[in-house]
Structure 1
Amino acid sequence: MIGNHRTELDWAYSWMIYTRFGMLEHFKLVLKDSLRHVPIWGYVCQACGYLFVKRNWQEDQLLLAKHCKHLKQSGAPIQLLLFPEGADLEGSGKAKSDAYAKANNLPIYEHLLHPRTSGFTYLVSHLNDHLDCVVDMTVAYPKNIVYSFKEIFLGNFPEEIHFHLKRHPMSTMPDDAKELSAWLKSDWEHKETRLAQFYRSGSFELPTDAQSQAKQIHKAIDIGALNLVVHHRLFYVALFWVLFTLATSFAILTTWYVRWYVVLMSLANLLIEHHLGGLLHLELQLAETATA
């Protein structure tokens, strides 16, 4: 799945899509390498097998090669979320994208950054035989936009989030890297037009055949019941993590052997990080050794 990166929370909101379709357990995200060092969260992401890139193509290409090999050998369904823009729309990313557009005689986008194509073309071309499709996700916020986790913690939530999903079967995708790069750039032009239309009208415009399919789905599925199931799942997930955090904090404060366990695990993680490049690199090395 590829998507526009409006805020730093887009990937978290996309969990709702994966939850609705029962695919969250296979979800993996491509992140910038600096996030690997975020306490606790970075370790969890490594344990979940998320991909981290350094934006240095020589290094990233070697790492992606190992990732692709591991993903194919694992036999698990591949569900990757990639933000080709490489940064969200806030901050310096927009200025850099506009400068790149001017230098290369490209249109200046209002709602997007120009996509980086190297990672996308490499992943699609090397995972081609193990992918069913490429899903193009467009996310839009018609009311308030929440930019960061800090705002979430302060109680500010987006009132509405709209997703537009378009499925591209692999049989329709180009095979050549240059053609894939051109495809992504063209897709981003359409995405900019789609977002401009959305912010004018307040909703995504669907082709006639898609509207007909949506009506048939609504007739065949009890949407209210489905929403209730999804809300229950999300509620129990949130409840679990709140209770788990409270219980863990209490155990650390009151039990000496839990404190020692946390200290030893933290030291082990630091050693793995320093000598092997992190938990994920250790997993890739063990997988490579096992298949040698």
Structure 2
Amino acid sequence: MLAYPLLLINLFLVLLNTAFCSVMICLTAVVKLVLPSKELKLYATKLANLMMWLWATLNLKILSLSNHVEWDIQGGETLHKDGWYLMISNHISWADIVVLCSVFKDKIPMPKFFLKYQLLYIPFIGMSCWALDMPFMRRYSRGYLIRHPEKRGQDLETTRRSCTKFKHIPTTVVNYVEGTRFTPDKKTNQPEYEFLLSPKSGGIAYTLAAMGALFENIIDVTLAYPDNLETPFKDMLMGKMKRIIVHIDILPVDEQVRGDYFNDKPYKRQFQKWLSNVWAQKDQRLKKIYRRVDE
């Protein structure tokens, strides 16, 4: 019974932390609009990123008080805070954002996530993410795009504008290339992988095209909650989180990922094959993790 009062307490503290840091980030953004020079605007951006670092640090403190988590973090020793990185990761839960920010907040520049457009309207969260220049992406069905062809390419244009802003300060761009969170129901329609959904290559390819010359590496992250697979975020708030596995692979930004994805068909096929191989290796890693849990 203690778990439910703990859930309410943790939820209140996380929301309070989110509200405070979001207001500070939005105030910084307002000040940034009226600053007269690029140098001063750059300082304002750094201050907003610092507030995001504070948000991640306080969240980790709050959740560490009620969860006795066994952290298994593998790789990433060569990362540093002065570089530009593209991060790709599997996506299981809202807990993923908390985990990624907690693990990487002192290793690399604070992550900038590609977010669903609907999140813009969530109080505090939406406005602060907008103030941090995070791109909000609209997802259209194939049928909708057939009826409204003028909407094609809008997400890519959003990516281009956001990447332009990211060029002026060390940045980590995070792309959940599955496009949505993994669930057994969604997997039913995508049998290619056991613990993953099929990766969508367009967004990551465009990000590489827009910023490939700046990116030092691609950070490939595999997240797993071996004992809390079904409801990791709820379990985290209830103090039931037991283990979090974060496997980090550092991939080069080389000729395999450089090219004109939208006009060069051989390169497009090569890039899709590269991403499929990355995802196949990730799925094999997850199979080993969850197989050990079942034994």
Match of 2:159 in 1: 64
TM-score by structure 2 length? 0.59
In the alignment, which residue of structure 2 is the partner of 1:160?
243
Q: Structure 1 residue 55: deviation in Å?
A: 2.0
Distance 2:233 2:271 in 1: 33
The aligned counterpart of 2:205 is 121
Q: Which residue of 2 aligns with 1:94?
A: 187
Residue equivalent to 2:272:
181
How far residue 147 of structure 1 moved from its aligned partner, in angstroms, is 3.1
CA deviation profile, 1:8-58 (whole Å, cap 9, x unmatched): 32122101221241533xx21111111111111111111122111112452
TM-score (norm 1): 0.59
Residue of structure 2 aligned with 1:54, choices 131, 138, 154: 138
Which one has more relative contact order, counting CA pairs under 8 Å at least 6 apart?
2
Name which of structure 1's ranges 30-39 and 171-180 shifts more when overlaid on structure 2: 171-180
1-side partners of 2:251 and 2:278: how far apart? 11
Distance of 1:82 and 1:14 partners within structure 2: 12
* TM-align CA RMSD: 2.1
Q: Is the 8 A contact 1:121 1:181 kept in 2?
A: no
Instruction: Tell me how far apart the structure 2 counterparts of residues 9 and 135 of structure 1 sit (CA, whole Å).
Output: 19
2:128 to 37, 44, 57: 44
Q: Which residue identity does 2:158 align to in structure 1? A: L
Larger Rg: 1
For the residues of structure 2 that align with 1:30 and 1:43, how far apart are their CA atoms?
14
Within 2, Cα distance between the matches of 1:126 and 1:181? Answer: 18
Q: Please give the alpha-carbon distance, in whole angstroms, between the structure 2 residues aligned to 1:146 and 1:123.
A: 31
Question: What SS does structure 1 have at the residue aligned with 2:105?
Answer: helix
CA separation of 1:6 and 1:37: change in aligned 2, threshold 3 A: same
The one-letter amino acid of 2:214's match is H
- Per the alignment, residue 7 of structure 1 pairs with 93
Look up the SS of the partner of 1:55 in the other structure.
Answer: coil
Aligned pair 1:21/2:107, yes or no?
A: yes
Q: Given the superposition, is the C-alpha separation of residues 175 and 117 from structure 1 closer, same or farther in structure 2, using an over 3 Å criterion?
A: same
| Shift of residue 156, structure 1, vs aligned partner | 4.1
1:219-245 CA distance string (max 9 Å, x none): xxxxxxxxxxxxxxxxxxxxxxxxxxx
> Aligned partners of 1:172 and 1:147: how far apart in 2?
39
State the one-letter code of the partner of 1:168. L
Aligned counterparts, 1:101-140, within 5 A: 108-140=192-224
**Given the alignment of the two structures, is residue 198 of structure 1 paired with residue 293 of structure 2, yes or no?**
no
Question: Which of 80, 93, 99 is the aligned partner of 2:173?
Answer: 80
Give per-residue Cα distances to partners, 1:109-160, cap 9 Å, x unaligned.
211001111101111122101100101100111212363655544x244211
Structure 1: unaligned runs, 5 residues or longer: 99-107, 203-292
Residue 124 of structure 1 aligns to which amino acid in structure 2? L
Q: Give the aligned partner of residue 286 of structure 1.
A: none
- Give the helix-richer structure, 1 or 2: 1
Q: 1:180 is paired with a residue of what secondary structure?
A: helix
- DSSP-derived class of the 2:170 partner: coil
Give me the identity figure in percent: 26
